[in-house]
Amino acid sequence: MIYVKQIVTLFLAILSFGFVLGQQEAKNSRERILLSDDWKFFRYENDGDSLIYDVRPEVKEDIDKREADAKPVEGDKATTEAFVLKPWILPSGNAFLKDKEKHHQIPDGHPGTDFPFVQADFDDSTWEQITVPHDWAARGEFYKGWDVPIGGGMGRLPVQGVAWYRKKLEIPLSDKGKSIYLDVDGAMSYAMVWINGKLAGGWPFGYASFRIDLTPYIIPGGDNQLAIRLDNPASSSRWYPGAGLYRNVWLTKTDPIQVDQWGTFIRSMNVSEQSADVTLDVTVANKGNEQRNIKVITSAYWIDREGKRRSKADFTFPEQSKVLQIGRKAVFSALATVRNPKLWGPAPEQTPHRYIAVTEVYVDGNLADTYETKFGIRSLEFDGTNGLFVNGQHVIMKGVNQHHDLGALGAAFNRRAAERQLEMLQEVGCNAIRMAHNPPARELLELTDSLGFLVVDEIFDNWKLRKTPLDFHLIFDDWHEQDIRAFMRRDRNHPSVIMWSYGNEVGEQYTEDEGAQLSAKLNAIVKEEDSSRPTTVSMNYAKAHMPFASVADIISLNYQGEGIRDAPAYRHLKGITAPPSFGAFREKHPNTMIISSENAAAVSSRGEYFFPVYPENSAPIDEGQGGNNELAQVSGYELYTVPFGSSADKVFATMDENPYVAGGFVWTGWDYIGEPTPYYQSKSSYFGMIDLAGFKKDRFYLYQSYWRPDFPMAHILPHWNWPERINDTVPVHVFTSGDEAELFLNGKSLGRKMKEKGDYRLRWDDVVYQPGELQVIAYKNGQKWAENKVRTTDAAVALRLTSDKPTIKSDGEDLIFVTVDVVDDRGDIVPRSNQDLIFTIEGPGEIVATDNGNANDLVSFASLERKAFNGKALTIIQAKKGQTGAIKVTVKSGHLKGGNLLLEVK
């Protein structure tokens, strides 16, 4: 009997232990649910409804008629009055206001409660069903002409107006007592959120990631109605802002005792290959109804590029305990010394190793919350003479500026599309990205972490003074602190982020001490959030002696380094002028690191070449000087720039003459929607070394030759199809990482040339055109290095389809990019072919968009019919969620042999 009693006791103990474990697992109530499907969407055709955030001034200016580097000015004041919801929205930012005296109180009442769109029983069956991320404008028709609601500067797509998103949230009874949040990664713009008819909060800045506490309004045990209103003004941006819930949206559920929003901060010190000191701060909030005994334990694991972690912890932080009062937050700080750490460093010189910290929060011995933080261990040094050092190794920043749109996808974030952009940038030799001029998608920083890019993380394009009538200046006073602190807490654990930029070409550069004082105020906020990284603000006007230049830690110069409108070809132009200025800043600030935060601003169209060719190395674009107003295209000889810019050749020479400059960021890596200087009836920029569709311009190879000197390459331009120029001159230029090259036409040498100091291309400007084959053989140190050929093609006979990968996931997110080439009977791309193309698809997939890289093509991205542009076009394919099988993509064009491609869905 005693034996049986012991067995029963042991059995009950095991059950009890399992029950306790189950209780502990249940108490670890953090869930993060991606809200991507089953949204309903409606956009007004008129001005919308009266539920406005605030009144706005009347727009009296055509922003397309402003010079790109025009001086910012005072904003106009609103002259009308109306009932506004701003007082109910401002409290959403309280967690990011340091001074609690400035915290906003929620007024009485719930504006909009009676509005039909926020009601659970409103019939939204006629609304469009969409998935998020969603850009309502990207698949729209482009506006054409001058007198339109959205001009070239903002991309000619219908981004303007008021729209609503609705979704049912099923909240089970088991969630009773939990904290429930809506986490929005990006909403453009003036977001306001209702849940079950109650206004829960919002956030006006369209690039911010923000959290809305739904807890007071949630009804566990059934459906809860979510409604989000967005209001996107025209004349609010200098580029394409996108529209809608264009980044991910999440539902987060936690125990009332929880790691706070973006509540961990990990830094490394005393870093070497042998050891590193890693500090961890964990902010825990008590949103329960009694004080609790809190214990925090964190372990760190090495992870691979895909984020998979080792089974055994690499190191742990010392356990921390505190008593946490009701409604309070506490920071739990710990330090761990890591032996033989795997260091994060920029590719290709170093390896971007990463770790993940798993933090467990225990309440009275029970697990209440688990929170994961990816991070890297690395050291950074910023030297005024020698530049940037990462982990003790000198690294030159070979950077590009990137806007946030993804070409034909618009602003709707897609991980694979962003990864494709970064992969091509690494191919050209780029190792650094400046996020121009706003916080990027969180997932983009995960990619820069895993791929090993250096990142300048930037937040504002303007402060109090405006660049466009309805830009950020309208909300700067109310929101700048909240936006800065939220942005930094979100991004501060990313090892790829090496500096914070809190302004780009702001108007306060012009206001002497007043502007410097405002800069110092913002700089102080940044430093309070993170003193481990330097600050910067980019200057295209402020000079070395001005107080504005002395505030931030790093001097960032836009175009001033190589001079603005300074060379002979530019001196007749009006606007900002500056001599080559690196030397002046160096002399005035000898111990401060300098970077060229924007340079070049060269423009070109892929595959377009106009004659004559400018004989020097840089010239402003003009009709007959690299430009063609009728075609709205720019010559691809890569010598032409906007009025304030310089060619790549001139930039390279300036950087080489000033080796203390830590690196530079080209304007831009990829073309982007909007800002189509100099042709504002077009839709997208001409600045990129890669066009909007992802096809390489000739400038790609010019940068590759400079950034990758050890990579054997040679590239000839232009193409060799010039029947109208037989016996006339067609200049031939060669970009190569070699130091000399010999050019042959139909086997006959046209001479061997060597790069002299200051040469970054080899030019044969007197070549007389004859059909046939051009060949270049490049040499380095007297040895054959690389070669390249172009030849006159035959007539176009077929279409050839190729993809960036053979298989696609059926997750509803993965993409395949299919290139269409117009080819002759030898398989050569016919360079001047612009045939009409028709795209079709069979199987479990859909065509998301088509493009061709032509900035002046105003055919909708959603169209299944478009012209090739100089022999190429693109279609973007997505698999239907949950389906597998084979997808067949077909493209046809008149008498040409159609092309097709089979893709496997997994």
Reduced to 3 states (helix: H, G, I; strand: E, B; else coil), residue 472 is: helix
Strand-pair partners of 393: 390
Q: What angle do CA 268, 269, 272 make, to 5 degrees?
A: 100
Three-class secondary structure of residue 104 per DSSP: coil
CA dist list (Å): 94 to 99, 105, 187, 486, 719: 9, 9, 19, 11, 59
Q: Which amino acid is at 729?
A: T
Give me the phi and psi of 192, to 5 degrees please. -135, 135
Is the CB of residue 665 less than 8 Å from the CB of residue 435? no
Q: 3-state secondary structure string, 640-694?
A: EECCCCCCHHHHHHHHHHCCCCCEEEEECCECCECCCCCCCCCCECCCCCECCCC
For 748-776, letters b (16+ CB in 10 Å) and e give eebeeeeeeeeebbbbbeebebbeeebbb
CA distances to 824, 836, 845, 854 from 793, rounded to whole Å, are 7, 19, 35, 22
Cα–Cα distance between 729 and 727 in angstroms, integer? 7
| DSSP E strand boundaries for 677-833 | 714-717, 732-736, 740-745, 748-754, 762-764, 773-780, 783-791, 798-803, 807-808, 816-823
Phi/psi for 499 (5° steps) reads: -160, 155
Would you call 45 a catalytic residue per the annotation? no
Residue 324: phi, psi to the nearest 5? -115, 120
* Gap between the Cα atoms of 603 and 605, Å rounded: 7
Q: State how far the Cα of 431 lies from the Cα of 198, in Å rounded to an integer.
A: 47
Q: What is the DSSP letter of 119?
A: S
**Radius of gyration of the chain from Cα atoms?**
29
Q: Are 254 and 179 in contact (CB under 8 A)?
A: yes
Closest Cα partner for 235 from 63, 94, 81, 362?
63
Are the C-beta atoms of residues 480 and 488 closer than 8 Å to each other?
no
Catalytic residue among 458, 481, 505, 529: 505
Sign of the torsion angle spanned by Cα atoms 767, 773, 774, 779? negative
Place of tokens 């080796």: 659
Question: CB of 414 within 8 A of CB of 446?
Answer: no
Is 616 an active-site residue?
Answer: no
Which H or E element spans position 168? strand 161-171
Catalytic residue chosen out of the listed positions 458, 508, 562, 598: 598
User: How far apart (Å, rounded) are the C-alpha atoms in residues 196 and 168?
Assistant: 10
Helical pair 442-451 and 476-491, crossing angle rounded to 10 deg: 40
User: Token pair for residue 234?
Assistant: 């025209």
Asked if residue 236 lies in contact with residue 461, where contact means CB atoms within 8 angstroms, the answer is: no
Give the per-residue SS3 of 840-883. EEECCEEEEEEECCCCCCCCCCCCCEEECECCEEEEEEEECCCC
Tokens for 89, please give them.
Answer: 């929205």
Which residues belong to the active site?
A: 505, 598
